Chain A
């Protein structure tokens, strides 16, 4: 557990401790024509333990690109992203492959496309088990080499499930149950689940390694409004359960951001237009992009009374 400050009403204060720090990021790409080129420049961005940081912006503002850079899946042209855990600072793009792999299980990712984010030819439980197998979790006391040897032995034995496999399976089922999927549903193939159930399975896969940071790229935009509501409720419950875990959430729906966010960052054409506590940004946005988004959201929602 973290210090109690993390559970404070306003985790946006610094007491949560910095979990991820990006500095002097620059990322550019162009696809031929001049008008298609894009440049993302972020001087400084921090994700604190226990907070939900929402990245907002129009299409093409760079919010998904920034998420990938923060999540360690897209190398920036320059700048660094540091993961600060247990007093150790580790540059995601500067450290070696081994170190990178060692911190990989601290990251959970959930994608937008519910149809493509799970392997259609594998049962849900196998997809959720994957991160445990890849990172060889939960960590046993025996060294890594022995573990590889163990796995070979297990593979050769093939037939029965080892104690370890049983344990991993129990962990996976537990996480699946937590997101609202029963054991019977875990044994299905993704095509036999509804969109909402598939996204729940994807969330379970992201959480199964007990990551310190979870990255969600528009996890509900492909879902019905009614299903979105239940997924958002789930995310809020998960957030309350573990007050230490940081979330980075990409969306273009401000009202949805309102439901989850501690802090909101507004991106505009590759620049960080503003960042601040959710209430402040929504009440009095300072940037043009922020003002425009708030105004449109207000106009739409006013019609609902």
Chain B
């Protein structure tokens, strides 16, 4: 299978001083990673670092799970592909190549107008928040139709669009029953799972080769979550390259092909689902797995030490060092790089065996 999208050495920086409103001015001096309030003053001319040197490729027909805690840069990564970074963030280096093997185009070099030729057509996107992702005044069918209109069919335009709209709703896992009775309702009258699938339908209506989903199951109960994930799996089997962003390892474990784990803007472990989830080697991945409650044993959950700092600034060496149970002196000064330990299974850690 070929790569549909390749990210090479992507770094994103924020301007000026780090400030997400979570710190008080008086705490900026303090530097206690375990309290979860990591603060440092402005770090040089480039501002603070949000994503650092990320290499990632999305393969056609495969689902990649991008996993990490809040604030690790998952959504920023997606937004930089889409060109949706807020004004305070900017891409410092790297390339995002679509169709890297045939006719590579660097999305970062395009202006908004050129990029629009890709968004919604070659790249489908499902935003994080279901309710605010849908226009409350448009019915489900109108929403998807609006997306379908972006692709011009020369003949039979109107009927072709209607056809594709219904087809997308069906492929997103909505029943014929829904198409008949509920598709003309506004999002306020639909359930969370239905809204989520309408958003997916809108993203896939033009049959994009790359599909980016930001926490598509966060607000769903297990049954609808399972159905939505099955839908996503089917889309990948039809040939789309899917990137699924989530913090919930358990939810996606059964349907992803590969997993990339992110911590503070860096990839710390990449590999196949089996390698990362069953034979994880990075202490952070193990920590995340230890937090997942299991069904069979009433064992104590093992929360990771401390909370993730809001920025990696001021830390040298391994970003996970302050919370790591296996840390050694080397980790504090020397930043580990992703190393190919086994085929395709890469870990950024000095101590991982």
Contacts and interface: CB of A to CB of B under 8 A. Distances in A.
B37 to A, nearest CB: 8
Given A225-B248, A301-B295, A304-B289, A233 B254 contact: no
Contact of A58 (B221, B291, B308): B221
Interface stretch (B21-29, B52-60, B199-207): B21-29
Contact of A254 (B222, B224, B254, B277): B222
B294 interface: yes
Contacts of B278: 304-305
Contacts of A188: 24
Contacts of A191: 21-22
B287 A226 contact: yes
A173 B201 CA distance: 50
Q: Is the interface of A mostly helix, strand, loop or mixed?
A: helix
A303 B36 contact: no
Nearest to B182: A35
B224 A233 contact: no
A4 B233 CA distance: 52
B11 to A, nearest CB: 24
A233 B300 contact: yes
Contacts of B251: 300
B299 to A, nearest CB: 9
Nearest to A196: B307
- Looking at A195, A254, A296, the one whose CB has the most chain B CB atoms below 10 A away is A296
Interface residues of B, number: 45
Interface in A234-260: 236, 252-256, 258-259
Nearest to A282: B295
Given A192-B21, A255-B292, 14 more contacts: A192-B24, A196-B307, A224-B69, A225-B248, A229-B293, A229-B303, A229-B304, A230-B303, A255-B295, A282-B295, A300-B250, A301-B250, A304-B277, A304-B289
B250 A255 contact: yes
Contacts of B248: 225
A302 B247 contact: no
Interface of A: 33, 35-36, 57-60, 188, 191-197, 224-230, 232-233, 236, 252-256, 258-259, 282, 292-294, 296-305
B307 A304 contact: no
Interface in B247-295: 247-251, 253-254, 273, 277-278, 287-295
Contacts of B307: 194, 196, 226-227
Given A301-B253, A301-B295, A58 B222 contact: yes
Contact of B22 (A33, A194, A259): A194
A253 B70 contact: no
A304 B298 contact: no
Contacts of B21: 191-192
Contacts of B22: 191-194
Contact of A194 (B36, B181, B301): B36
A57 B223 CA distance: 9
B238 to A, nearest CB: 22
Contact of A256 (B23, B293, B300): B293
B277 A305 contact: yes
A165 B295 CA distance: 46
B302 A297 contact: no
Contacts of B222: 58, 252-254, 293, 296-297, 300
Interface string B188-200: 0101110000000
A293 B223 CA distance: 7
Contacts of A58: 221-224
Nearest to B222: A296
A293 B277 CA distance: 22
A72 to B, nearest CB: 25
A226 B254 contact: no
19 contacts: A59-B191, A191-B21, A194-B36, A225-B69, A225-B247, A225-B250, A227-B69, A227-B303, A229-B291, A229-B293, A252-B222, A254-B222, A258-B295, A293-B223, A299-B226, A300-B222, A301-B253, A301-B295, A304-B277
A225 B288 CA distance: 7
Contact of A225 (B36, B221, B249, B273): B249
B130 to A, nearest CB: 12
A255 B293 contact: yes
Interface in B60-74: 69-70
Contacts of B287: 226
A298 B304 CA distance: 24
Contact of A259 (B70, B220, B253, B293): B293
Contacts of B70: 195, 224
- Looking at B21, B249, B293, the one whose CB has the most chain A CB atoms below 10 A away is B293
A59 B221 contact: yes
A292 B24 contact: no
Contact of B295 (A228, A233, A298, A303): A298
Contact of B273 (A193, A229, A296, A303): A303
B254 A300 contact: yes
B280 to A, nearest CB: 10
Contact of A258 (B24, B249, B254, B293): B293
Nearest to A31: B189
A302 B221 contact: no
Contact of A33 (B189, B192, B292, B300): B189
Contacts of B24: 188, 192
Given A225-B248, A232-B301, A258-B295, A292 B223 contact: yes
B68 to A, nearest CB: 9
Contacts of A300: 222, 226, 250-251, 253-254
Contacts of B254: 299-300, 302-303
Contact of A226 (B250, B300, B303): B303
A304 B296 CA distance: 13
Contacts of B224: 58-59
Contact of B36 (A59, A197, A294): A197
A277 to B, nearest CB: 12
